[in-house]
Amino acid sequence: MVDTAMTNEQPSSSPVAGGQQSLPDVPVDTTLSTDPSSDLASLYKSKKEWVKQMRLQFSIRPEFEITQNIIHSDGTLNQDYFRPPKDAPRPGQEPVRKWTERERALLIEGIGLYGIGHFREISEKLLPAWSVNDLRIKCIRLIGRQNLQLYRDWKGTEEDIQREYQRNKDIGLRFSMWKGSCLVYDDDGHVLKAILATEPSATTGENGKDASAIAE
């Protein structure tokens, strides 16, 4: 028979001199946090400090004055440095411009010097803030005719321009073709014939252009 005393006997610890001794506890590293979020926060803070030091070391360049205000003394970014000026136009927004009597007078001066159609010269010499197309549209309103073909190279004073404006308006009102403060052509050609008929010569258009060729 099996001795029951032997079967109930607990395994003994490793024998050592002087009797039995229990195994030591596994040491725990108390420097490690049991909270993962705390570890991430600490890592993030360390990274931010490292970034600040890198900025302090490399961002400010003595030879470039524009970099002097890019960061604060603690290494944080100067947000105002990266913001556009308050008066800066938004993307796709044209700078605010006003067409005043001064601009109008300069356009009239340009017409007298360079002639209608030479809007690039007028823009470059007198009105740099206004494009060629801007000045073309302003000229249409100024002289009162949508199609400026017959006015190509035409030069005149303010009085000449006022006279042309009135002539165009009279023709436009006669044929109900005065639209948006300027004379527009009709499909039947009545407007063009009236324009040519009121020229100094009934057979010659403005600036010596052949009227029959223009009317075709």
Predicted TM-score (pTM) of this structure: 0.53
Write the CA distances from 75 to 53, 68, 93, 106, integer angstroms: 6, 12, 35, 52
Question: What is the token pair recorded at 183?
Answer: 């004379």
**Residues 6+ away with beta carbon under 8 Å from 122:** 106, 107, 110, 111, 113, 114, 135
Residue-wise pLDDT for 30-76, tens only, equals 555 566 677 788 888 888 899 888 888 888 888 777 788 888 889 88
Residue-wise pLDDT for 132-169, tens only, equals 999 999 999 999 999 999 999 999 999 999 999 999 99
Percent of the chain exceeding pLDDT 90 equals: 47
Nearest to 108 by CA among 142, 146, 79: 142
pLDDT at 41: 82
**Residues 6+ away with beta carbon under 8 Å from 168:** 143, 144, 145, 182, 183, 195
Task: Write down the domain spans for the chain.
Answer: 53-82, 101-215
With cut-offs at 50, 70 and 90, classify the pLDDT of residue 107. Answer: very high
pLDDT at 126: 98
Residue 19: pLDDT above 70?
no
Q: Which residue has the higher pLDDT, 91 or 216?
A: 91
pLDDT at 136: 96
Lowest-pLDDT range of 1-5, 98-102, 117-121, 172-176: 1-5
Residue 211: pLDDT above 50?
no
Burial label for 28, CB within 10 Å (0-12, 13-18, 19+), is exposed
